[in-house]
Structure 1
Amino acid sequence: MPKTLPAIDVSAPICCAPVSAAPMSDDAALEVALRLKALADPVRIKLMSILLTAGDGEVCTCDLAVAVGLAESTVSHHLGQLKKAGMVEPTRRGMNVYYQPRADALDALRLVLDPNCCR
């Protein structure tokens, strides 16, 4: 049975120094690793890609399921893992749940991994 991700505070993006700045503390390394682990799945990467390129900024779970060719329950599981890691934010409207990416969390993760990236 796969391990579940430990609970982490996702109210703010990663707030630690870049990995190249100095050896990381155990807590900071865990925080980064949990987010990377949540992204380390081809379906989740594809879901993030769809969400990041969505014109209106949010996409219904039902539409995401069609886009990746999986059952809505499976897509909901993947989105739940991304939500636990602070990568996406859901909004419920009636029976549907719409997701949008948390760009601030992704930018913070990028900066932690390589502060000189994309300048």
Structure 2
Amino acid sequence: MTPTTTDAPDCTKAAALLHAVADPARLAVIRRLADSPACVCDLQEQVPIALSLLSYHLKVLRAADLVTSRRRGRWIDYALTSDALERLHAALPAPPTHHPGRTAGGGASEVATPQQYTAACPPQCADQIQ
């Protein structure tokens, strides 16, 4: 299936979501919270950065609707949203069944042309690649 220019909003949303986890500290938080919810003090043990910086990264993850927070006295507990991992997975492309320039056995056949790679790109992207 070839994406069309109407897919651009989906790509924008996916890029924003992936950007939110494209930091080692934020990815570490996501990995930790995938196991179970955690108090900020527990997260700080797993992600050894200053508390103010950890708070910033948690704010980014909350803004992306990947993490929820709940105050418990002086502490704040964090958890992944119920669909966080599903949305992250959906933001990534599905593995291709055939890759241009490769044979079924994985070896190189002929060199793929830019047109083969850009066939799935919207016209405005394809023009920039060629």
TM norm structure 2: 0.63
Q: Secondary structure at the match of 1:92?
A: strand
What amino acid sits opposite 2:12 in the alignment? Answer: L
The aligned counterpart of 1:75 is 54
State the shift of 1:27 in Å: 2.4
SS of the aligned residue for 2:69 comes to strand
- Residues 40-60 of structure 1 show CA distances to partners (whole Å, capped at 9, x for unaligned) of 00111111111112xxx3101
Distance between the aligned counterparts of 2:88 and 2:33, measured in 1?
Answer: 17
> In structure 1, what is the Cα distance between the partners aligned to 2:70 and 2:93?
31
Distance 1:42 1:108 in 2: 19
Does 2:16 match 1:34? yes
Answer 1 or 2: higher relative contact order, Cα 8 Å, separation at least 6: 1
**What is the CA–CA distance in structure 2 between the aligned matches of 1:21 and 1:81, rounded to whole Å?**
32
**d(CA) in 1 for partners of 2:72, 2:3:** 44
Distance 1:78 1:112, change over 3 A: closer
Cα distance, 1:103 vs structure 2: 4.1
Q: What 5-or-longer segments of structure 2 have no aligned partner? A: 96-130
For residues 91 and 23 of structure 2, the distance between their equivalents in structure 1, rounded to whole angstroms, comes to 20
Which of 89, 113, 119 is the matching residue for 1:110? 89
- Measured after TM superposition, the shift of residue 106 of structure 1 is 2.0
**C-alpha RMSD of matched pairs (Å):** 2.0
Q: 1:30 Cα shift?
A: 1.6
Q: Deviations over 1:13-61 (max 9, x none)?
A: xxxxxxx6623533222211111100000111111111112xxx31011
2:60 maps to amino acid: Q
Q: Percent identity?
A: 32
Does residue 65 (structure 1) correspond to residue 44 (structure 2)? The answer is yes
Partners of 1:26 and 1:33 in 2: how far apart?
10
1:50 aligned onto 2:32: yes
Aligned residue pairs: how many? 94
Find the counterpart in structure 2 of residue 86 from structure 1: 65
Secondary structure at the aligned position of 2:49 is classed as coil
